[in-house]
């Protein structure tokens, strides 16, 4: 399976629907960051989200995994679809498929065979018992913003040609788990800008909530981990496990209160400065 080809096909399908990444993310109950990563081939959707995408775009799952439309549907396609899904799932890990999911994937004639296929899902290391209470603390924003921005950019795709990665961070709160170990809750915005022929262009962008784990080392801090909610039906569940209630309320208002717009404007200003655009 060619993830780049699959990503390009997903972008093509979204464009045909006339949707932005943010609009599709809202329909799927995920983040535009996730949509961006699918469409650039950096990651693949969970199997449950893959099913939603196939249904929404009115295409076969095999077509998404192949990265192109098929001209004909034959009985042979059923077997090919099963093999593709099994291969896709095997790469992701191991999770048993339910009978309901299997029914959505293939015709009843091959249901029995596919029920033994083992699927998997990308997971986030969250507490199974829900969010534990920690003590709120104040960390100098100059420290957290610089550290987290550097961490986000370091994990973005390597820029190609005359393009550059940029990010913006809004820290909601910081809590101390234990001595020298902290959680920083934030909203992050990513964007890739290029400057060609006198035109500054945003090639891609995404925004998402994230829990960063910081560790104090001597007189400074370092980012030792970062957790982002999973896609699809897992999103709401992970939000509640990764963030305390008061931060969840902040997350729910980032569009209305101007947080995302302000961060995006800041990134645009950084891009203009970097490329020396007046």
The pLDDT tens digits for 174-198 are 999 877 899 999 999 999 999 998 8
Does CATH number 1.10.1060.10 belong to domain 3-119? no
What's the mean pLDDT in 133-162? 87
Does CATH number 3.30.390 belong to domain 135-274? no
User: Which stretches within 18-167 are classed as H helix?
Assistant: 21-28, 32-39, 47-57, 61-66, 75-92, 99-105, 111-114, 141-154
Count the residues in the chain: 278
Q: What is the DSSP letter of 120?
A: -
User: pLDDT (tens digit, 9 = 90+) per residue, 43-53?
Assistant: 788 777 888 88
What's the mean pLDDT in 87-101? 44
The residue with greater pLDDT, 46 or 98, is 46
For residue 89, the model assigns a pLDDT of 52
CA distances from 92 to 122, 187, 244 (A): 6, 27, 29
Predicted confidence (pLDDT) at residue 93 exceeds the cutoff of 90: no
Domain boundaries, the chain: 3-119, 135-274
Cβ neighbours of residue 277 under 8 Å, at least 6 residues apart? 195, 200, 271
Average pLDDT, the chain: 78
Q: Would the pTM count as exceeding 0.85?
A: no
């Amino acid at each position: 399976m060619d993830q780049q080809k699959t990503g390009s096909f997903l972008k093509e399908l979204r464009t045909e629907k006339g949707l932005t990444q943010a609009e599709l993310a809202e329909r799927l109950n995920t983040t535009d960051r996730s949509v961006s990563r699918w469409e650039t081939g950096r990651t693949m959707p969970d199997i449950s989200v893959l099913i939603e995408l196939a249904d929404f775009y009115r295409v076969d799952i095999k077509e998404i995994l192949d990265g192109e439309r098929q001209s004909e549907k034959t009985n042979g396609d059923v077997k090919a679809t099963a093999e593709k899904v099994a291969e896709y799932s095997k790469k992701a890990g191991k999770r048993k498929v339910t009978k309901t999911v299997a029914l959505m994937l293939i015709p009843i004639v091959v249901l029995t065979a596919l029920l033994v296929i083992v699927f998997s899902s990308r997971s986030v290391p969250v507490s199974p018992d829900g969010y534990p209470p920690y003590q709120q603390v104040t960390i100098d924003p100059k420290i957290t913003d610089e550290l987290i921005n550097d961490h986000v950019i370091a994990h973005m795709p390597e820029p190609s040609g005359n393009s550059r990665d940029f990010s913006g961070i809004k820290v909601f709160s910081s809590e101390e788990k234990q001595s020298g170990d902290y959680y920083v809750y934030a909203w992050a915005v990513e964007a890739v800008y290029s400057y060609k022929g006198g035109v500054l262009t945003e090639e891609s962008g995404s925004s998402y909530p994230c829990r960063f784990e910081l560790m104090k080392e001597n007189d400074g801090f370092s980012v030792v981990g970062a957790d982002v909610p999973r896609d699809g039906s897992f999103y709401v569940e992970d939000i509640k496990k990764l963030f305390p209630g008061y931060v969840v309320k902040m997350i729910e208002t980032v569009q209305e209160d101007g947080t995302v717009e302000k961060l995006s404007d800041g990134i645009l200003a950084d891009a203009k400065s970097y490329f020396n655009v007046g």
